[in-house]
A and B are shown apart, each in its own frame.
Chain A
Amino acid sequence: GAVVSQHPSWVICKSGTSVKIECRSLDFQATTMFWYRQFPKQSLMLMATSNEGSKATYEQGVEKDKFLINHASLTLSTLTVTSAHPEDSSFYICSILPLASGTIYNEQFFGPGTRLTVL
């Protein structure tokens, strides 16, 4: 069964609105979750690392004030795309790193993704 869920699976919104995407870990607790985006015909690009109980760390070139991340519990991280514009249209995918993953060899589990279209 699914290990990670995302909601919504797809969303269409008008330019200027904000969109919240939820990532839930169903089977594990996760102090660390990751947010990626994937533009058409491109690969996944890491946007930020979401840390439970602390601020997210963003990759270079990703605006922290535009992509707000909240990781309030060990099973939920949210990504809010603020004042969305058409260029933010993309496939947003989260992944979790299960708690007690002691080494770098442990598998990340990916959510099914959220397809955002900004008109």
Chain B
Amino acid sequence: RKEVEQDPGPFNVPEGATVAFNCTYSNSASQSFFWYRQDCRKEPKLLMSVYSSGNEDGRFTAQLNRASQYISLLIRDSKLSDSATYLCVVNKAAGNKLTFGGGTRVLVKP
């Protein structure tokens, strides 16, 4: 079983719609969680950290469920520029090593 698993998609989303997807992680000792965005042939860029209480940044909302070991990302009012691969990233306690999920591809269409 992969340490961090994501639905690869693609999620085809009409412009203006809402899309949500999850990521599961296997290590219950994982300490911190992030969503990164990666555009084609580019480096990943931090979208948001994910906190236990859930957090929102504009149109993006992230949730963490430690009991079920998953995190989620919801994008409201999708824009064409939201088309990208969204990477779920988990940081285990030791050494600040990040483990990346395989990514969920989102395609926002007019």
Residues of A within 8 A of B (CB): 32, 34, 36, 42-46, 49, 91, 93, 95, 97, 101, 104-108, 110-113, 115
- Name the residue on A nearest B94 (C-beta): A104
Decide yes or no: A44 and B95 within 8 Å by CB, A91-B41, A107-B46 being known contacts: no
- A10 to chain B minimum Cβ distance, whole angstroms, is 10
Among A95, A105, A107, A113, chain B packs the most CB atoms within 10 A around the CB of A105
Beta-carbon contacts under 8 Å, B78-110 to A: 87, 91, 93, 95-103
Verify B96–A113 contact, CB threshold 8 A: no
Verify A97–B43 contact, CB threshold 8 A: no
- Count of chain B residues with Cβ under 8 Å from any Cβ of A? 21
CA distance A109 to B99 in the complex (A): 15
Verify A97–B96 contact, CB threshold 8 A: yes
- Name the residue on A nearest B44 (C-beta): A110
Residue B22 is within 8 A (CB to CB) of chain A in the complex = no
CA distance A112 to B96 in the complex (A): 20
Residue B45 is within 8 A (CB to CB) of chain A in the complex = yes
Contact of B43 among A42, A43, A93 (CB under 8 A): A93
Residue B1 is within 8 A (CB to CB) of chain A in the complex = no
Decide yes or no: A44 and B32 within 8 Å by CB, A93-B43, A110-B43, A110-B44 being known contacts: no
**A112 / chain B contacts, CB cutoff of 8 Å:** 42-43
Decide yes or no: A108 and B41 within 8 Å by CB, A42-B102, A43-B103 being known contacts: no
Verify A105–B32 contact, CB threshold 8 A: yes
**A107 / chain B contacts, CB cutoff of 8 Å:** 46, 49
Verify B101–A49 contact, CB threshold 8 A: no
Contact of A108 among B42, B98, B101, B103 (CB under 8 A): B98
Verify A113–B43 contact, CB threshold 8 A: yes
**A105 / chain B contacts, CB cutoff of 8 Å:** 32, 49, 91
